[in-house]
């Protein structure tokens, strides 16, 4: 029975789009975590919420308005952070509160929630059309291609921004480019888990992968695998059990994080006991 659901066109579109979004969110999210800007995705999603509300209020395409508003807002706040020397946490707070405030005000003026707004808030991946799927795949391919080209410089910036600037890397330009890519990734992912949960998909697979204590490339690969498994598992489970896809994806991702913590703790306990026994045997043999 479980394999029969993959014969449906809407399920195929959901899974293909979901895997693409999982990969892009994982790659972008890893650098956000390394840059200590884990909540920046959450802030961008709230700005996107404001853009969607503007689009619905002005009877303009909500998703394209979200693209425009999010990119302009993220570039503006990045410029403000660099010129005014405000902290990243403060910049995130400004983005988060302003985007949410604009959205709430416009929703009130428009007379409350609509079905379209609800789908953007909580995700509606099972309703993705063929056109949506192609757009997601094209945008994901562009984002990943650019990230592959600049990831070494972004790593340098993430670990030591001042030293990267001294070494000749154009830190300001790369920061702007990365923020645009992050904004585009967040907006592209809204259909998957919605405005309220997108930051979870960006952050949780990466902090889970970091727990394995591997190098950068292995951590990135583990994060991508976790994100893909969470998305596929969430979509299939939500369909079989009639649950909300976005929430189910995040719950599975959180469950993976908790299981990893427990497994790592148990492994360290067993390893510690094993080392202790070896030391005792060595001391007794002497």
Give the tens place of pLDDT for each residue, 113-163: 555 666 676 667 766 778 888 888 999 999 999 999 988 888 888 877 778
d(CA 137, CA 145): 12
Give φ, ψ of 189 to 5 degrees. Answer: -90, -5
| pLDDT tens figures, 29-45 | 898 888 877 777 777 77
- CA 108, 110, 112, 115 dihedral sign is negative
Per DSSP, 8 falls in state S
**Radius of gyration (C-alpha) of the chain in whole angstroms:** 21
Concatenated DSSP letters of 62-113: HHHHHHHHHHHHHHHHHHHHHHH---HHHHHHHHHHHHHHHHHHHHHHHTS-
Query: 124 CB contacts (<8 Å, ≥6 apart)?
Result: 191, 194, 245
80-89, 146-155, 170-179: the lowest-pLDDT one: 80-89
Spatial separation of the C-alpha atoms in residues 274 and 224, rounded to whole Å: 33
pLDDT of amino acid 209: 93
- The structural domains of the chain, ordered by start, are 4-204 (1.10.3470.10)
261 vs 180: CA distance, rounded Å: 33
């Amino acid at each position: 029975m479980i394999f029969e659901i993959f014969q449906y066109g809407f399920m195929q579109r959901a899974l293909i789009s979901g895997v693409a979004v999982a990969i892009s969110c994982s790659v972008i999210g890893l650098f956000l975590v390394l840059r200590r800007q884990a909540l920046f995705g959450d802030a961008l999603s709230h700005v996107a919420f404001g853009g969607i509300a503007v689009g619905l209020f002005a009877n303009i395409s909500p998703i394209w308005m979200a693209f425009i508003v999010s990119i302009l807002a993220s570039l503006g706040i990045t410029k403000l952070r660099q010129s005014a020397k405000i902290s990243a946490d403060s910049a995130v707070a400004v983005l988060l509160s302003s985007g949410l405030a604009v959205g709430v005000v416009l929703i009130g003026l428009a007379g409350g929630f609509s079905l379209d707004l609800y789908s953007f808030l909580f995700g509606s991946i099972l309703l993705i059309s063929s056109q949506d799927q192609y757009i997601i795949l094209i945008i994901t391919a562009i984002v990943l291609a650019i990230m592959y080209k600049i990831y070494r410089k972004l790593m340098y910036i993430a670990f030591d921004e001042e030293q990267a600037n001294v070494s000749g890397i154009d830190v300001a330009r790369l920061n702007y480019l990365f923020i645009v890519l992050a904004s585009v990734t967040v907006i592209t992912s809204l259909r998957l888990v919605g405005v309220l949960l997108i930051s979870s998909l960006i952050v949780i697979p990466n902090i889970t992968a970091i727990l394995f204590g591997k190098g950068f490339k292995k951590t990135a690969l583990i994060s991508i695998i976790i994100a893909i498994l969470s998305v596929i598992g969430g979509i299939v489970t939500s369909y079989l059990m009639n649950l909300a896809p976005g929430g189910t994806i995040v719950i599975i991702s959180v469950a993976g994080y908790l299981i990893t913590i427990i497994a790592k703790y148990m492994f360290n306990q067993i390893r510690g006991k094993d080392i202790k026994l070896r030391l005792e045997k060595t001391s007794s043999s002497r």
